[in-house]
């Protein structure tokens, strides 16, 4: 555990995309700013910094969270995955990333890391979602460009792709 006696700077250790980090951070530093400024992982975007837009969504212990609403000290000992950690070896796009590309799930790309991370966590939990479930799961992320249709299609296509890949493996 971090030093607990009322300190304004804390030394933390956590894993980000499989790499271990040890750093002394101000207690008030958000996980989002830690990832962007201290780890150099600028894929995590900050739209609102108060929990509303979802652009900063990352995985902590495999579950989607808002990195703007968590302090870096709260990630002590945890495993964090950002959008940079989703691609396969050699940068091969994940099923969700591939589907966002093929279905035009992005335009300017600002919201995309948050959507891709949220969709990845959602499909891991619910690999065969209905359209209504996809809509609900994506309702926590805002996009100002696409009009959402391409995004919803991308999540459906990714679910389908993952399911058929699973069936191939079973054969």
CB 126 within 8 Å of CB 157: no
Q: Which of residues 40-59 bind ligand FES (CB under 6 A)?
A: 46-49, 51-56
Neighbours of 145 (CB within 10 A): 14
Residue 73 interacting entry, from other proteins, ligand FES, ligand FAD, none, C-beta within 5 to 8 Å by type: other proteins
Residue 143 interacting entry, from ligand FES, other proteins, ligand FAD, none, C-beta within 5 to 8 Å by type: ligand FES
Contact status: 51 vs ligand FAD (CB under 6 A):
yes
16: β partners: 19, 80
Residue 110 Cβ, how far from ligand FAD at the closest point, in Å? 18
Residue 44 Cβ, how far from ligand FES at the closest point, in Å? 9
Closest Cα partner for 35 from 17, 53, 62? 17
* Interface contacts to other proteins, rule CB under 8 A: 1-2, 4-8, 10, 26-28, 30, 33, 49-51, 54, 57, 63-66, 68-71, 73-74, 118, 121-122, 136-137, 139-140
Q: What is the DSSP string of 111-157?
A: SHHHHHHHHHHHHHH-SS--HHHHHHHHTTS--SSS-SHHHHHHHHH
- Interface with ligand FAD (CB under 6 A): 51-52
């Amino acid at each position: 555990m971090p030093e607990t006696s009322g300190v304004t700077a804390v030394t933390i250790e956590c894993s980000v995309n499989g790499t271990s980090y040890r750093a002394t951070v101000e207690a008030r530093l958000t996980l989002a700013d830690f990832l962007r400024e201290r780890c150099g992982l600028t894929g995590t975007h900050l739209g609102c910094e108060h929990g509303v837009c979802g652009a900063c969504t990352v995985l902590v212990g495999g579950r989607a969270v808002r990195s703007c609403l968590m302090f870096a000290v709260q990630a002590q000992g945890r495993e964090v995955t950002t959008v940079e950690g989703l691609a396969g070896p050699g940068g091969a796009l994940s099923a969700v990333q591939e589907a966002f590309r093929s279905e035009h799930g992005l335009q300017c790309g600002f919201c995309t890391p948050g959507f891709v991370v949220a969709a990845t966590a959602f499909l891991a939990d619910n690999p065969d979602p209905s359209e209504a479930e996809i809509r609900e799961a994506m309702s926590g992320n805002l996009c100002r460009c696409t009009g959402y249709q391409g995004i919803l299609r991308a999540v459906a296509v990714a679910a389908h792709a993952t399911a058929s890949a699973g069936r191939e493996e079973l054969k």
